[in-house]
Chains A and B, each alone.
Chain A
Amino acid sequence: MSAGLEQLYQQIILDHAKERYGSPLREYDGAGRAGESHQLNPVCGDEITLRAGVADGSVTTVTWDGAGCAISMASASVLTGLAEGLPRDEVLVLVDAFREVMRSRGRIEADEEVLGDAAAFSGVSRFPARVKCAMLAWVALEESLLAANG
């Protein structure tokens, strides 16, 4: 087992891949309004349908249905825990921060202060073929939040 593989599949990622916090997808019956997004990676068939509720400028709940690899499912689970309760605009900033790390090819280490458990995905950026897996849920949340606003 190489260090690279263990860095890619950190225990927290393997745990979240099984835990799948926020799954399954649920109807939104809270205050404010909800937005939804469906994302598909045609290369591997990874798929997610995500719904986010926003009330008073803050993300209330995130729920989702997904099928895919450990990276994509763990990423959705971690993101759900991170986003719920945060101001919508702050979540959109987090999405950008995460995207920057993912696209860095290993040059940018995630700031754990900012990204919390999502910092565990830093290793993914060294595997360009897997970046889309990690990004899938984040793109879905970004779209959902924009839809909830519109």
Chain B
Amino acid sequence: MPVVETPVTLTPLDAGLTDAEVRRIRNDFPILGTEINGSPLVYLDSGATSQNPTSVMEAEQEFYEQRNAAVHRGAHTLAVDATDAYEDARAAVARFIGARVNELVWTSNATEGINLVAYAMSNAAAGRGGEAARRFAVGPGDRIVVTEMEHHANLIPWQELAARTGAELQFIPVADDGTLRLEDAAAVITPNTRLVAFSHASNVLGTINPVGELVALAQAVGALTLLDACQSVPHLPMDVKALDVDFLVFSGHKMLGPTGIGALYGRAELLNAMPPFLTGGSMITTVTMERAEYLPAPNRFEAGTQRISQAVALGAAANYLAETGMERVEAWEAALGARLVEGLGAIPGIRVLGPGSGLPRIGLAAFDVDGVHAHDVGQFLDDRGIAVRVGHHCAQPLHRRLGLTATTRASTYLYTTTDEVDAFLDAVAGVRPFFGASS
């Protein structure tokens, strides 16, 4: 059984960006210079949404100023320019993740990408797509597998697919240390499993899941795989072919791009055999009053006028990241993640979720403060200009599994400095004293 190793390494700090380079990078992000409540903004919520560099905002503005037109229709010069910009962006993003151009479908975000696959499977179950689409059809007796650490976006679409088709939904459980119980995975991924959907990196735990092992288990039973790469594509070097997944989704706004744009990667032979989800203009070849023939991927899944300017801006974001170097971003954030975990672990009354000190994690740490609710922690930090995420982070089942309802999460990006992490740690140390939480 071929096992492809996820590119996970704990690289020493000096292999990544340097503090001086990060300071230069920050000049490209105007919002990072703002003040919040009288303090310099310390933005530690990139896991929710990242900030945009000037080049990304300019790409979108330049498109509207110089190239705006509908794409893939019309013969006038602007329409050709707009189409070129739109498709160049697709090529840039496809290259960024190691995909071929016809394997990258624009979506609104990762959530829509997952729903696209779920509804395409549902349509296949209803007989749409004919013989070629039979492999996507699920029904009674079939199983869909997710994990206990999924974001709601990679859980609820599968709950709904199971409810519509009669398939059953099962999950790979999470161990106390925030890793997947791989010893149970083989028992959960049964021969009747048709799809295994899981996250590459957890948005709560920071865990980087063993993609190779899970893909091997899925492939051994002939199941499709879908990887939620929202927290990995922005932060780690990505090669979809090396990971050997069938589908992969991510969101543009978490990788320096604008909101409203994301992408679905699918292996070309799968995308071309899969029935469409949204239907209408721009995705057809021949239409009569009774039926329609569909274009191959990616256009097959891009009905109606698309998010053209956002796609162009996301292309600029991918280029910005590629020019910086994703290996260096990964190494920098691994160092920041380690600093977060070690620093938080040293503060009395703080419980950090996920992998302990010295274990691989992305630049993200969620934690519980004994005796103080996450909302109050977030409010206290905001008072010092520090932006973090509080709540269940769209992962209620995982929080329930860990015996919590809400946690506080700090997440970094390539523009985060070690000084910011230290300012955050210093502020967190003041939380329990302020609220009078006794140890």
Closest to A73 in B: B373
> Does B37 lie at the interface of the complex (its beta carbon under 8 Å from any beta carbon of A)?
yes
Does B110 lie at the interface of the complex (its beta carbon under 8 Å from any beta carbon of A)?
A: no
Task: Name B435's contact: one of A45, A70, A127, A130 (CB within 8 Å).
Answer: A70
Residues of chain B within 8 A of A44, CB atoms compared:
374-375, 390-391, 406
Query: Interface stretch among A1-9, A23-31, A55-63, A83-91?
Result: A1-9
A18 on the B face (CB < 8 A): yes
How far is B376's CA from A32's CA once the two chains are assembled, in angstroms? Answer: 38
Known contacts A45-B391, A45-B392, A45-B406: does B375 contact A9 (CB below 8 Å)?
A: no
Decide: A4 near B383, CB < 8 A? Known: A44-B374, A45-B405, A67-B405: yes
Q: Are B380 and A69 in contact (CB under 8 A)?
A: no
Q: Which residue of A lies closest to B390 (CB)?
A: A44
State whether A130 and B383 are in contact (beta carbons under 8 Å apart), knowing that A2-B37, A44-B374, A68-B373 are contacts in the complex: no
In the complex, chain B residues whose CB is within 8 Å of the CB of A1: 383, 434
Contacts of B406 in A (CB 8 A): 44-45
- Choose among B372, B379, B391, B435 the residue that contacts A43 (Cβ–Cβ < 8 A): B391
A71 CB within 8 Å of chain B:
yes
Residue A133 lies at the interface, judged by CB distance under 8 Å to chain B: yes
Q: Which residues of B contact A111 (CB under 8 A)?
A: none
Closest to A68 in B: B373
Q: Is the CB of B436 within 8 A of A127?
A: no
Q: Does B2 contact A (CB under 8 A)?
A: no
Distance of B369 from chain A, by nearest CB (Å): 11
Interface residues on B, range: 10 to 19
CB of A109 within 8 Å of the partner chain? no
What is the CB-to-nearest-CB distance from B191 to chain A, in angstroms, rounded to a whole number? 38
CB pair A130 B38 closer than 8 Å: no
Taking a contact as CB atoms closer than 8 A, the residue among A8, A45, A46 that contacts B379 in the complex is: A8
Contact B375 A133 (CB under 8 A): yes
Q: How far is the CA of A8 from the CA of B436 in the complex (A)?
A: 15
A14 part of interface (Cβ distance < 8 Å): yes
Residues of A within 8 A of B405 (CB): 45, 47, 67
Please encode chain B, from 397 to 439, with 1 for each CB lying within 8 Å of some chain A CB and 0 for all others.
Answer: 0000000011000000000000000000000000000111000
CA distance A47 to B391 in the complex (A): 13
Min Cβ gap B90→A in Å is: 35
Q: How far is the CA of A67 from the CA of B373 in the complex (A)?
A: 9
Question: Could you tell me the distance between the alpha carbons of A69 and B372 in the complex, rounded to whole angstroms?
Answer: 7
A43–B394 alpha-carbon span in the complex (Å): 10
Within 8 A of A (CB), among B356-391: 372-376, 379-380, 383, 390-391
Complex Cα distance, B406 from A133, in Å, reads: 14
Cβ-defined partner of A5 (8 Å) among B383, B390, B392, B396 = B383
- Beta-carbon nearest neighbor of A5 in chain B: B383
CA of A21 to CA of B307 in the docked complex: distance in angstroms? 53
In whole angstroms, how far apart are the Cα atoms of A5 and B390 in the complex? 17
Cross-interface CB contact of B375 among A4, A5, A47, A69, cutoff 8 Å:
A69
A2–B436 Cα distance when bound, in Å, is 17
Residues of B within 8 A of A4 (CB): 37, 383
Cα distance, A130 to B390, chains bound together (Å):
12
Residues of chain B within 8 A of A68, CB atoms compared: 373, 375
Q: Which one of B38, B376, B391, B396 contacts A2 once the chains associate, using CB atoms below 8 Å?
A: B38
Collect the chain B residues with CB atoms within 8 Å of residue A5's CB. Answer: 379-380, 383
Question: How far in angstroms is the closest Cβ of chain A from B46?
Answer: 20
Residues of B contacting A70 in the complex (Cβ-Cβ under 8 angstroms):
372-373, 376, 435
CB distance from A127 to the nearest CB of B (A): 7
User: Contact: B375 with A2, CB < 8 Å?
Assistant: no
Other-chain residue from B373, B375, B434, B436 in contact with A18 (beta carbon distance below 8 A): B436
Complex: A44 Cα to B375 Cα, angstroms: 7
Whole-angstrom distance from the CB of A128 to the nearest CB of chain B? 12
Q: With the chains together, A59 CA to B374 CA distance in Å?
A: 33
Considering the complex, which residues of chain B in the window 315-354 have a beta carbon less than 8 Å from any beta carbon of chain A? none
- Assuming the A-B contacts A1-B383, A5-B380, are A46 and B375 also in contact, with contact meaning beta carbons closer than 8 angstroms in the complex? yes
Tell me which of B374, B392, B436 contacts A14 (CB under 8 A): B436
* Residues of A104-148 contacting chain B, CB below 8 A: 127, 130, 133
Q: A67-B405, A68-B375 are in contact. List 14 more A-B contacts (CB 8 A).
A: A1-B434, A4-B383, A9-B379, A9-B434, A14-B436, A18-B436, A44-B375, A45-B396, A68-B373, A69-B374, A69-B376, A70-B376, A70-B435, A133-B375
Which residues of chain A have a CB within 8 Å of any CB of chain B?
1-2, 4-5, 8-9, 14, 17-18, 43-47, 67-71, 127, 130, 133
**Interface residues of B, Cβ cutoff 8 Å to A:** 37-38, 372-376, 379-380, 383, 390-392, 396, 405-406, 434-436
Q: List 8 A-B contacts (CB under 8 A).
A: A2-B37, A2-B38, A4-B37, A9-B379, A44-B406, A68-B375, A69-B376, A127-B379
- Which 9 A-B pairs give the minimum distances between C-beta atoms? A69-B375, A69-B373, A5-B383, A45-B405, A70-B376, A69-B376, A45-B406, A44-B391, A44-B375
